[in-house]
Amino acid sequence: MTVRVRDLEVSLGGRRVLAGVSLEVPAGSWTAVIGPNGAGKSTLLRAVLGLVASRGEISVAGEDSQRLKPRQRAHLVAYAAQSPNLPVGMTVFDYTLLGRSPYIPHLGRESARDRSITEEVLDRLDLTAFAARPLDHLSGGERQRVVLARALAQQTPVLLLDEPTSALDIGHQQQVMELVDRLRLSDELTVVTTIHDLTLAGQYADALVLISGGRVAAAGTPEEVLTGPTVEKHFDARVHVTTGPGGRPLLSLERP
């Protein structure tokens, strides 16, 4: 299902945070939104979800996102926030099961299928051993995987992941990126992730959108966007870009 954003504008606290942002993520593709701290990446994802007021057009699967009822939207789009407030005392299993809420009838209970989907997602993210543990008794990376688990349990055609790997060790980064990629290929998921690790972004995404100062500063394939001059201009970083497997760019910091 295609996600389309046209001329998006968002103001927060009286300040314009996004202006003139347009992008299109075709069904079954993966777009990584990159950009410096404060550029507006999380705000863009939140706007697609209707969590912040915005102007412009946002459509998911041809439907105007702003007009969707929360339950309708929850059948289409799942979201893993960058730093969510997690309910204290709730177990990993129960939190992940919340991803099934859009399928549970009002005042009803979860089905055996909802529980088995939850168990399967926990298993795929190495979280089975934590299922009965309260969320506040987890490490940062474990907690981040649980937030992703909840989004995956929702089984939507569109996944919006805000910095899904920022707290993960390299093995779990690979596990999460590969899992998302496999789901994308097997179920034609449309994936939008923000991500600070530019090499990782370039390895997995079909397209990169660089947001800088609330505007789209560059968009295209990883090779087109991840050039030394572009990274220097927008991140104020000096990097060395080489070509890795599959022609994807590899970035390393340049030491003086």
Pairing assessment for the beta strands 3-12 and 55-60 based on DSSP bridges: antiparallel
Is residue 42 involved in binding ligand ATP (CB under 6 A)? Answer: yes
CB-nearer residue toward ligand ATP: 37 or 186: 37
Choosing among Mg ion, ligand ATP, none, which partner's interface includes residue 17 (Cβ < 5 to 8 Å by kind)?
Answer: ligand ATP
Q: Pick from 40, 99, 157, 164 the residue near ligand ATP by CB under 6 A.
A: 40
Pick from 158, 155, 180: which is nearest to 168 by CA? 180
Contact residues toward Mg ion (CB under 5 A) are 41-42, 82
Q: Pick from 2, 66, 72, 82 the residue near ligand ATP by CB under 6 A.
A: 82
Query: Within the chain, where are the H helices?
Result: 41-48, 70-76, 92-97, 112-124, 140-153, 170-187, 198-204, 222-225, 228-235
Say if residues 119 and 100 touch (Cβ distance below 8 Å).
Answer: no
Q: Is 26 exposed, middle or buried (0-12, 13-18, 19+ CB in 10 A)?
A: middle
Give residue 9's Cα distance to chain centre. Answer: 20
Is residue 143 involved in binding ligand ATP (CB under 6 A)? Answer: no
Is residue 193 involved in binding ligand ATP (CB under 6 A)? Answer: no
Q: Pick from 1, 5, 8, 17 the residue near ligand ATP by CB under 6 A.
A: 17
112 phi/psi in degrees, rounded to 5? -60, -35
Say if residues 211 and 41 touch (Cβ distance below 8 Å).
Answer: yes
Is residue 12 involved in binding ligand ATP (CB under 6 A)? Answer: yes
Q: Residue 246 CB, nearest distance to Mg ion (Å)?
A: 28
Say if residues 64 and 117 touch (Cβ distance below 8 Å).
Answer: no
Is residue 41 involved in binding ligand ATP (CB under 6 A)? Answer: yes
Q: Residue 17 CB, nearest distance to ligand ATP (Å)?
A: 4
d(CA 127, CA 112): 19
Is residue 147 involved in binding ligand ATP (CB under 6 A)? Answer: no
Stretch that binds ligand ATP, among 9-17, 72-80, 104-112, 121-129 (CB under 6 A): 9-17
Is residue 73 involved in binding ligand ATP (CB under 6 A)? Answer: no
Is residue 22 involved in binding ligand ATP (CB under 6 A)? Answer: no
CB-nearer residue toward ligand ATP: 38 or 220: 38
User: What residues line the site for ligand ATP (CB under 6 A)?
Assistant: 12-13, 15, 17, 35, 37-43, 82
